[in-house]
Structure 1
Amino acid sequence: MEDYESLRQDRYNATVVSKILLTPDLMILRVATDEPREQFSAGQYTTLGLSGFEPRSANSEEEHSPAPAERLVQRAYSIVSARHETREFEFYITQIKSGQLTPRLFALEVGDRLFVGRRIVGVFNLSEVLPEKDVLMAATGTGIAPFISFLRSHVASRPNSRMVVVQGASHQRDLGYYSELAFLNTTLANFFYLPTLADADETWRGRRMWIEDLLAAGEVKRESGITLDPAKTHVYLCGNPKMVESVARWFIEEKGYQQKKGREEGQLFIEEF
Structure 2
Amino acid sequence: MPLPPTFQVRLVDSRTLSPSVRELTFEREDGSAFAFDAGQWVSLVLPRPDGEIRRSYSIASHPSESPSFQLAITKVDGGPGSTYLHELSRGATLTAIGPQGFFSRPLDKTGPSLFVATGTGLTPLRSMVRAAVETGHTLPMWVLFGVRHERDIFYREEFAELARKHANIRFVPTLSRADETWSGPRGYVQTHVPTLWNELTGLGLGTPHAYICGLKRMVSTVRDLLRNDMRIPRDHVHSERYD
Alignment of 1:83-94 (within 5 A): 83-94=63-74
2:134 counterpart of 1:150: no
2:51 counterpart of 1:48: no
Query: Residues 33 and 68 of structure 2 are in contact (CA less than 8 Å); yes or no, is this contact kept in structure 1?
Result: no
Q: Deviations over 1:246-272 (max 9, x none)?
A: 11111012221244xxxxxx1111112
Q: Any unmatched runs of 5+ in structure 2?
A: 1-5
Structure 1 CA distance, aligned partners of 2:117 and 2:202? 19
Q: C-alpha displacement at 1:226, in angstroms?
A: 4.2
Q: C-alpha displacement at 1:219, in angstroms?
A: 4.0
TM-score (norm 1): 0.79
Name which of 149, 152, 157 aligns with 1:179: 157
Report % sequence identity. 29
Q: Deviations over 1:54-105 (max 9, x none)?
A: xxxxxxxxxxxxxx3xx32111111111111441110010112222311111
Query: Residues 45 and 76 of structure 1 are in contact (CA less than 8 Å); yes or no, is this contact kept in structure 2?
Result: yes
Query: Residues 50 and 74 of structure 1 are in contact (CA less than 8 Å); yes or no, is this contact kept in structure 2?
Result: yes
Distance 1:94 1:30, change over 3 A: same
Structure 2 CA distance, aligned partners of 1:155 and 1:12? 29
Alignment RMSD: 2.4
Higher alpha-carbon deviation: 144-153 or 203-212: 203-212
Query: Residues 160 and 171 of structure 2 are in contact (CA less than 8 Å); yes or no, is this contact kept in structure 1?
Result: yes
Structure 1 CA distance, aligned partners of 2:135 and 2:225? 30
Q: Any unmatched runs of 5+ in structure 1?
A: 1-10, 54-67, 260-265
Count of matched residue pairs: 236
Structure 1 CA distance, aligned partners of 2:111 and 2:57? 27
Query: Residues 197 and 208 of structure 2 are in contact (CA less than 8 Å); yes or no, is this contact kept in structure 1?
Result: no
TM-score (norm 2): 0.88
Name which of 10, 17, 25 aligns with 1:15: 10
2:228 counterpart of 1:253: yes
Q: C-alpha displacement at 1:232, in angstroms?
A: 1.5
Larger radius of gyration: 1
Partner of residue 180, structure 2:
202
Partner of residue 268, structure 1:
237
Partner of residue 215, structure 1:
193
Amino acid at match of 1:102: S
Choose between structure 1 and 2: higher strand proportion: 2
Structure 2 CA distance, aligned partners of 1:97 and 1:145? 20
